[in-house]
Structure 1
Amino acid sequence: MTQPTPPGQPYGHPHQQQPYGQPGYGYPQQQPYAPFPPQQHGGFPVPPPAPARRDNVGLGIVAAFGAAVVAAGVYGAVIGATEHEIGWAAIGVGFLVGLAAGKAGGHNPALAVIAAALSLGAVYMGQLVGGAMVAADKLNISFKTLFIDHFDLVQEGWKEDADAMTFVFFIVAAVAAFGGAQRAAR
């Protein structure tokens, strides 16, 4: 004599507790597609942690300052070698300073402003270095002597040679630095 199957238990398997049509009664356990199984906390899936935000303003300023020093030297060398200011080089100075600030410092909006200000200084120093290189070559004296011992003369020469395009390069570099910092922080 067979015993009747209690309600809620599949026929012929009294030890299983799944109702008919649920996983375990001839149906495979279905898992949602995920590259890694979700972690469980109290029976509920835990979402993956959000990516860490980089908000280190100090590190961003240090990186931007270092990039500005390097970019000023390279920009000055380009001006000294060509004896002309080059617009794409000023854009490169600004973008490099902004990129360094955004990558190292993160999402803080103040970094874009600081990068723009540092790029202005980098373009100015690059123009002074380039002008000193050209003048030292024409005067047959060493760059070091002219740039360090007679820095006031280098600045006077810059003031006399500055025209509208000189200031356009400042604006272009600042805009490139601001945009570069924002883009790099994403």
Structure 2
Amino acid sequence: MSQPVPPPSGNPFAGADADAQYAPAPPPAPVRDNVVLGIVVAVVAALVGAGAYGALGGAIEREVGYAAIGVGFLIGFAAAKIGGRNPVLPFVSALLALPAVYLGQLVAIAVILGKTTDTAFADIFLDNFGTLTDAWSEAADGMTYVFLAISAAAAFAGAKKANA
């Protein structure tokens, strides 16, 4: 006569061999917490973002305020992805977004002036930097400052989003 098979217990390992060898669990992912490297990456992202923002504004010959949000987000996201969850990085990113957008606006003005006066970009940007900042001051309006502030907020949010 055959023995009845007992119903499953709900434990998938109930019938497993007690002497079986199992692979060990993989080690946890390394913790990213390198503030210095995060800040270095944020500075590089700020320079790259400023150049791209200025080139875009100079190419179309107008200010693209919404691109300032992208510059800020890029800075914060890059800093936090490399630097980790350190609470300093969102604040540093927000502070770096302000000069990055400002520098991008100066690059855009220099590109536009270079096209209209047939002068090299480097001559305008390096030799006439004071005149360039005066031109920015005259052209800046309320929205310029709003987008500077929004870029800082986007940098802070980008740093928080990278580690969410």
* TM-score, structure 1 normalization: 0.74
Is 1:55 aligned to residue 33 of structure 2?
yes
| Aligned-partner Cα distance in 2 for 1:49–1:133 | 51
Select the structure of larger CA radius of gyration.
1
**How far does residue 53 in structure 1 lie from its aligned partner after superposition?**
2.1
| Aligned-partner Cα distance in 2 for 1:144–1:38 | 61
Is 1:159 aligned to residue 137 of structure 2?
yes
| Aligned-partner Cα distance in 2 for 1:133–1:184 | 33
**How far does residue 168 in structure 1 lie from its aligned partner after superposition?**
1.1
Aligned to 2:105: 127
- Indicate the RMSD between aligned Cα atoms, in angstroms: 2.0
- Specify which structure has the higher proportion of helix: 2
Aligned letter for 1:52? P
Aligned letter for 2:163? A
Secondary structure in 2 matching 1:108: coil
Q: Return the match for 1:112 from 80, 83, 90.
A: 90
Q: How many residues align?
A: 149
Aligned to 2:73: 95
| Aligned-partner Cα distance in 2 for 1:146–1:166 | 22
Secondary structure in 2 matching 1:85: coil
Is 1:180 aligned to residue 125 of structure 2?
no
Deviations 1:75-105 (A, max 9, x none): 0001101111113211110111011101010
Unaligned runs of 5+ in 1: 1-26, 40-46
Aligned letter for 1:54? R
Aligned to 1:28: 15
2:65 and 2:144 in contact (8 A); partners too: no
Larger RCO, structure (CA 8 Å, separation 6 or more): 2
* Percentage of matched positions with identical amino acids: 48
| Aligned-partner Cα distance in 1 for 2:98–2:15 | 66
